[in-house]
Amino acid sequence: IGKLSYNQWSDIRRELLSAQNQLLDAYQSLHLQHIEIQRLTGVPVSDSE
């Protein structure tokens, strides 16, 4: 506690939020691609494979 300035803490928090947003974008893209594969093949794709 007290080892980081507010600006340092704010920058780290901003980087964390950016990384989390990138991860959510990647999950969304994966989900949409999964749906598209199922739509094109007509075969359900299991998440456990």
> Residue ranges of the domains in the chain?
1-44
Q: Which residue has the tokens 């994966």?
A: 30
Is there a contact between 44 and 38 (Cβ–Cβ < 8 Å)?
yes
Secondary structure (DSSP) of the chain: --SS-HHHHHHHHHHHHHHHHHHHHHHHHHHHHHHHHHHHH-S---TT-
Cβ-based neighbours of 45, under 8 Å, separated by 6 or more? 34, 37, 38
Q: Is the overall model pTM greater than 0.75, yes or no? A: no
- pLDDT, residue 48, reads 58
Q: What is the pLDDT of residues 6-43, one digit of tens each?
A: 999 999 999 999 999 999 999 999 999 999 999 999 99
- pLDDT, residue 9, reads 93
Q: Residue 1 — pLDDT band, cuts 50, 70, 90?
A: low
